């Protein structure tokens, strides 16, 4: 039967081994793969400034991006492709709560400059290689049809 010291060896050995593999894979991911998948060369000062705005206003508190965030408002990774620049800027610059289907967005009333920065950020993130996420719906029905 397993002794306590064998159990401890299992714990320590397993932990060290898993962690070593994890660090190795992380290193490869961050140094080689992520810059390629995210087109890091396109990370312009404008995109970065858009990311600052994204975080400063906790957009993730309602929306998801890369599928992460809250589930109260639409996924925005591909919003640039889906809605286009004009729509996005209108929502961002609106002085009254944007509410296309009743659910309200905070009326940020961003300046033109800020709206451009955020749009640049959303455009950049939309070009990331996400291993097929978000999956294309099997049956296109009402998507992209404004009411």
Partner 1 sequence: MRYKSQKVAYWFFALSMLLLSLQIIYGFIMGFAHMGYDVLHTYIPFNTARAVHTNLLVVWLLSGFMGAAYYIIPEEAEHELVNIKLAYIQLISLALVGVVAIVGYHFNYWEGRKFLEIPRPLDWLVVVNVLTFLGLLLTTLFKGKKKTTTSMVLTMGLVFAALLYLPGMIWFDNQTMDSFFRWWVVHLWVEGVWELIMGGILAYLLIKITGVDREVIEKWLYVIVGLTFISGILGTGHHYYYIGTPKYWLIIGGIFSALEPLAFLGMALFALAMYRKGEKNHPNKLALSWTLGTAIVSFVGAGLLGLAHTVPQVNLYTHGTLVTAMHGHLAFWGAYGMIVLAIISYTMPNMTGRNLFNSVNGSMAFWLSNIGMLGMTVAFGVAGVAQVYMERIMGVDFGEVQKEIQVHFGILLICATMFTVGISLFIYEFIRYGRPNDEAIIIQ
By CB under 8 A, what part of segment 56-115 binds partner 1? Answer: 56-62, 64-75, 97, 100-104, 106
Would you say 67 and 135 are in contact if contact means Cβ atoms under 8 Å apart? no
Q: Site for partner 1 (CB under 8 A): which residue of 27, 30, 112, 113? A: 30
In 16-62, at which residue ranges do the beta strands (DSSP E only) sit? none
Q: Which of 41, 86, 95, 131 binds partner 1 (CB under 8 A)?
A: 131
Give percent helix, percent strand, percent coil of the chain, each to the nearest 5: 55, 5, 40
Asked whether the bond before 15 is cis by omega within 30 degrees of 0, the reply is: no
Residue of 84, 71, 81, 77 lying closest to 133 (CA atoms): 77
In angstroms, rounded to a whole number, what is the distance separating the alpha carbons of residues 27 and 15? 18
Our measurement of the distance from residue 84's CA atom to the centroid of its chain's CA atoms, rounded to an integer in Å, reads 17
Number of residues that bind partner 1 (CB under 8 A): 75
At closest approach, how far in Å is the CB of 107 from partner 1?
Answer: 10
- The CB-of-123 to partner 1 minimum distance in angstroms stands at 13
Find the binding residues for partner 1 in span 32-51 (CB under 8 A).
33-35, 37-38, 40, 43, 47-48, 51
> Per CB under 8 A, does 27 bind partner 1?
no
Q: Which is nearer to partner 1, 86 or 141 (CB)?
A: 141
133 torsion bin: left (phi>0), alpha (psi -120 to 50), beta (else):
beta
Q: Does 7 bind partner 1 (CB under 8 A)?
A: yes
Minimum CB distance to partner 1, residue 114 (Å) = 14
Stretch that binds partner 1, among 2-10, 85-93, 109-117 (CB under 8 A): 2-10
């Amino acid at each position: 039967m397993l002794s306590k010291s064998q159990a401890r060896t299992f714990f320590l050995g397993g932990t060290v081994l898993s962690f070593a593999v994890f660090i190795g894979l992380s290193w490869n991911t961050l140094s080689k793969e992520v810059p390629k998948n995210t087109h890091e060369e396109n990370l312009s000062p404008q995109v970065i400034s858009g990311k600052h705005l994204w975080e400063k206003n906790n957009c993730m508190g309602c929306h998801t991006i890369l599928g992460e965030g809250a589930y109260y408002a639409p996924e925005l990774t591909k919003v640039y492709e889906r809605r286009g620049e004009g729509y996005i800027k209108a929502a961002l610059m609106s002085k009254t709560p944007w509410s296309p289907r009743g659910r309200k967005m905070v009326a940020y009333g961003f300046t033109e400059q800020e709206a451009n920065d955020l749009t640049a950020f959303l455009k950049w993130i939309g070009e990331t290689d996400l291993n097929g996420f978000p999956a294309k719906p099997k049956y296109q029905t009402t998507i992209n049809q404004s009411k």
